[in-house]
Amino acid sequence: MLLLLILIKNHFVDAIHKAVFHVSCWTPGAGLKFHCTFIDYFYTIKDILRGEEAMVMQKIRAAVFGVGNSFKSLVYGLTTDIAPWHRIVGGFDKSSIEIVGAYDIDSAKVGKTVKDVLSFGPEISVERSIVYPDEVSRELRDKLSISPIDEGSLQKSLCEKAPDVVINLINSGQQRATRAIALATARCGASLVNATPERLVTDSNIVEAFKAAKAVIAGDDLQSQIGGTWLHKVLLRSFKMWGSQVVKSYQLDVGGSLETLNTLDERIRQEKKSVKGASISTEDKEAEVVAGTTDYIPFLEDWRVSHFYMEVLGPFGETFTIDAEYKTRDGSNAFNVLIDVVRAVKHEQLQGSTGTVMEINAYGFKSPGRDVDLFEALNAFETKYCSA
């Protein structure tokens, strides 16, 4: 098949310009078949000067595991006119992302459409997800009626949806479930975005599975755009850049989401505490850092309150202190980073990349596989995916 694109740019545009391009496709053989379709490209003057083209003609088919607050914010952001942080990533705008599958372990959601569960979103059914009961915290088991599926049936269901990218948003602590999702994703030839703390991008067997599938894996443990971990990192880095140093600090979080409730399980609490502390310490190895979730407060719902305390070395050796609170919302804080990572992963797919990509991991996750400071990670990501 020969695909001929006739691209016309209008350099005198002074507003958003919508240009329509004709695509002619023909197939030689027993008779010439002629097809004509239309592809929309959207330009602004800035995009034209930088050579960016929003490739809205090509969809990124995404299947999501975990129909919770982050999923809700993802669907809301994709279906409204909310402006994303980065309008174009890897040549794609946010409208390129299409949710084609949704999975959850909660029987109250399974069998309903996404629109029924959220009151907005696509008319696709929420299907059963993989779960191992011994990995689910007692706190979560008491809250949910669990509806599991076996690994074979899950893989069959996932492959039938032919996703480009699978997004894993299930609750922390489900190591075997996350690995089952990862392997099912690879066997379907799709790429994976792992938002959970389970270490996948440093697992050679998992990475090799994605290389064999000619797919990409990104992770681990999604870092919110401007959440508590981000603020903690910014403070440590800023004091160090300005000739001072944080001697010791702690960050104690409370929230009302199911993920916070799940973290009351001591095993999960310690795992998340270790991941968060290690991530923050990349900004200043000399500072003593403690960070973790301390309690579940139902009326906070999707909101999180982080209490910060820092002791900073002053110019004459005095101890300066910060004692403050920072209130954020988990779901909406995940939106921009998620859609950036998904679009970057799809870009890498098209470039023929396989395995894991450090520019994506360091930008979007707390455990990227090696230490990269916050500003270096952002600069590397924007340079590679957001520039002409």
Residue 172, domain CATH: 3.40.50.720
Same domain membership, residue 190 and residue 169: yes
pLDDT value at position 140? 85
Domain membership of residue 55 (yes or no) is: no
Domain membership of residue 357 (yes or no) is: yes
160 lies in which domain range?
60-223+333-385
d(CA 363, CA 218): 10
Domain membership of residue 73 (yes or no) is: yes
Size of the chain in residues: 388
What single DSSP character describes residue 264?
Answer: T
What is the sign, positive or negative, of the torsion defined by CA atoms of 339, 63, 148, 127?
positive
Same domain membership, residue 275 and residue 172: no
Same domain membership, residue 216 and residue 146: yes
Percent of the chain topping pLDDT 90: 75
Domain membership of residue 161 (yes or no) is: yes
**Domains in the chain, number:** 3
Same domain membership, residue 129 and residue 156: yes
Whether residue 361 has pLDDT greater than 60: yes
Query: Which residue is listed with tokens 């443990």?
Result: 221
Same domain membership, residue 326 and residue 337: no
What single DSSP character describes residue 82?
Answer: P
Chain segment 34-93, per-residue pLDDT in tens: 233 333 333 344 443 444 444 545 899 999 999 999 999 999 999 999 999 999 999 999
Chain segment 274-328, per-residue pLDDT in tens: 989 999 999 999 999 999 999 999 999 999 999 999 999 999 999 999 999 999 9
Domain membership of residue 359 (yes or no) is: yes
Same domain membership, residue 312 and residue 263: yes
d(CA 322, CA 377): 26
